[in-house]
């Protein structure tokens, strides 16, 4: 963060300071990663109390503490009413002193990929901070801001939500120069109750835009018109189906499911070939491009960045086995929209196509309906075989009605799948985080390593 002191924060937070004044450039909530000179903030959670680790933090070199009760430790302390609230306030205090352009991104699916696309583009232009992994909640977003100081030129902050008000809180802290809702789909329906509530929650990101900020709108999303009604800042639209400011034309998908297209803005265009698989990545690329155009980058700079994007672990990551079998690791998370995108990707490959799924979580009363729709969609799109595991995914297998099997446990599924890793076969593995479908991919890779070792021993 920008160098500050406990006395400055004491005045800003109306908090009580004990001990000497201390200047610092970093706040840490975790004693396992903190370094000498950091300030330790003692957060509380359902199953933990950070105050219990305050002494450990001091032993590891903490220069001071932010606590909600005075600790009997010889170290400077700032006593606040609530450490969680203080974390957000301090992050916003730091944000107000930054000169970096900040882009905030949310959406039901693809937001992490879009974040990574934007970060890759911006890193080629200047020092850039981006949300690590999926640390996009009410703690992760402030911590990302607190990593930034005046040397940064850009920041990309991913914002997630599981209920109304989550993004309103984090976006108010970030106060972005550019805000994006990538899309709206049936994720976390159990918490939101309806698709309309999800759209409302995601749309909260536009409420805290700077007065001279830019709202980036997915014109192809059914809720685009609703969002536009409440936005008073500049709007930049993107889309494929609807006429928009930023568009993709002349889209070509090759046999490896790599997309090439013309990225167009106003009267200019540039050719882009994405290094990621899947036609759905074109829309993600448009979202990233629009955000970067909103802060003044050129089409050429954007195209250069897009063509250097790296695959994000667990998100349509292609693995080629020695047998010639293709395994697509898309295990990070799942909702109906992202499942359909994955199935559309799988359907584009030649040869045998096997879909391996776990449950889509947090769907509440919509769960059976969404899993059934998933199975029907797979059947309609030429998937040859479906293997499922989980209480809810059995409805997908029943609706699929074709070759495959529903398994009671992952081990049985793995054993059956190991016999399918053959030449000219594509296997796509996907499910929600709770389904732990990454275990399936890991087992396939382990099986291949064992076969290679056995082959080497036979050769000797």
Predicted local distance difference test score (pLDDT) of residue 454: 74
- Cβ 261 vs Cβ 282: under 8 Å: yes
Radius of gyration, alpha carbons of the chain:
24
363-374: average pLDDT: 93
Instruction: Given CATH 3.30.540.10, say whether it is the number of domain 317-459.
Output: no
- Confidence class of residue 193 from pLDDT cuts 50, 70 and 90? low
Phi, psi for 227 (deg, rounded to 5): -60, -45
Predicted local distance difference test score (pLDDT) of residue 447: 87
Instruction: State the Cα–Cα distance between residues 6 and 14, nearest whole angstrom.
Output: 11
Contacts of 403 (CB under 8 A, 6+ apart): 384, 385, 386
Q: Where in the chain is the domain with CATH 3.40.1390.10?
A: 4-82
Q: Where in the chain is the domain with CATH 3.90.190.20?
A: 317-459
Cβ burial 225-257 (10 Å sphere, 16+ → b, else e): eebeeebeeebbbbbbeeebbbbbeeeebeeeb
Q: Hey, what's the torsion of the CAs at 28, 34, 36, 40, to 10 degrees?
A: 30
- Angle of helix 410-417 relative to helix 438-459, nearest 10 degrees, comes to 40
Would you say residue 341 has pLDDT above 70? yes
Q: What is the mean pLDDT of the chain?
A: 93
Query: Which of 144, 213, 226 has its CA nearest to residue 184?
Result: 226
Predicted local distance difference test score (pLDDT) of residue 109: 84
Would you say residue 364 has pLDDT above 70? yes
CATH topology of domain 98-306: 3.40.1190
162-181: average pLDDT: 95
- Confidence class of residue 17 from pLDDT cuts 50, 70 and 90? very high
Q: Which CATH class is domain 4-82?
A: alpha beta
pLDDT tens per residue, range 316-338: 999 999 999 999 999 988 999 89
Would you say residue 185 has pLDDT above 80? no
Neighbouring-strand partners of residue 269: 264
235-243: average pLDDT: 96
138-149: average pLDDT: 95
Determine the straight-line distance between the first and last CA of the chain, rounded to whole angstroms.
58
- Confidence class of residue 188 from pLDDT cuts 50, 70 and 90? low
Would you say residue 49 has pLDDT above 80? yes
The answer, as to whether pTM is greater than 0.95, is no
- The helix/strand/coil state of 326 is strand
Q: Where in the chain is the domain with CATH 3.40.1190.10?
A: 98-306
Say what percent of the chain tops pLDDT 70: 98
Signed CA dihedral, 204, 102, 245, 106: sign only = negative
- Cβ 7 vs Cβ 24: under 8 Å: no
The first and second tokens of residue 167, run together, are: 């993004």
- Confidence class of residue 452 from pLDDT cuts 50, 70 and 90? confident
Would you say residue 224 has pLDDT above 90? yes
């Amino acid at each position: 963060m920008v160098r500050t002191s406990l006395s400055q924060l004491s005045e800003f937070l109306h908090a009580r300071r004990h001990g000497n004044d201390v200047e610092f450039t970093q706040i840490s909530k975790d004693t396992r990663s903190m370094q000498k000179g950091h300030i330790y903030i003692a957060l509380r959670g359902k199953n933990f109390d950070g105050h219990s680790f305050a002494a450990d933090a001091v032993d590891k070199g903490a220069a001071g503490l932010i606590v909600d009760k005075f600790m009997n430790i010889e170290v400077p302390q700032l006593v606040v009413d609530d450490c969680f609230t203080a974390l957000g306030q301090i992050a916003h205090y730091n944000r107000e002193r930054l000169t970096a352009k900040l882009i905030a991104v949310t959406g039901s699916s693809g937001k992490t990929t879009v974040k990574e696309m934007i970060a890759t583009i911006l890193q080629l232009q200047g020092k850039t901070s981006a949300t690590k992994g999926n640390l996009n909640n009410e703690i992760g977003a402030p911590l990302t801001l607190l990593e930034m100081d005046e040397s940064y030129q850009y920041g990309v902050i991913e914002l997630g939500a599981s209920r109304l008000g989550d993004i309103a809180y984090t976006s108010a802290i970030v106060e972005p120069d550019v805000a994006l809702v990538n899309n709206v789909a049936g994720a976390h329906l159990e918490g939101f109750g309806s698709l309309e509530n999800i759209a409302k929650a995601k749309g909260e990101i536009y409420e805290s835009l700077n007065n001279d900020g830019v709202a980036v709108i997915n014109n192809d999303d059914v809720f685009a018109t609703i969002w536009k009604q409440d936005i008073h800042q500049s709007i930049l639209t993107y889309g494929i189906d609807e006429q928009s400011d930023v568009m993709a034309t002349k889209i070509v998908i090759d046999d490896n499911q790599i997309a090439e297209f013309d990225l167009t803005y106003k009267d200019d265009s540039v050719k882009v070939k994405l290094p990621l698989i899947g036609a759905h990545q074109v829309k993600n690329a448009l979202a990233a491009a629009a955000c970067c155009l909103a802060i003044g980058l050129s089409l050429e700079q954007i195209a250069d960045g897009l063509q250097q994007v790296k695959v994000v672990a667990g998100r349509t990551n292609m693995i080629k086995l020695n047998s010639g079998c293709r395994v697509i690791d898309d295990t990070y998370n799942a909702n109906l929209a992202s499942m359909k995108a994955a199935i559309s990707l799988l359907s584009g490959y030649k040869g045998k196509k096997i879909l391996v799924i776990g449950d889509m979580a947090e769907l509440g009363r919509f769960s059976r309906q969404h899993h059934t729709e998933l199975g029907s969609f797979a059947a309609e799109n030429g998937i040859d075989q479906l293997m499922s595991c989980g209480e809810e995914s059995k409805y997908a297998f029943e609706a699929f009605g074709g070759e495959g099997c529903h398994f009671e446990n992952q081990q049985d599924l793995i054993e059956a799948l190991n016999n399918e890793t053959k030449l000219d076969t594509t296997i796509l593995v996907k499910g929600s985080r709770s389904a732990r479908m990454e275990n399936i991919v890991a087992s396939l890779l382990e099986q291949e390593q064992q076969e290679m070792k056995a082959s080497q021993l036979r050769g000797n």
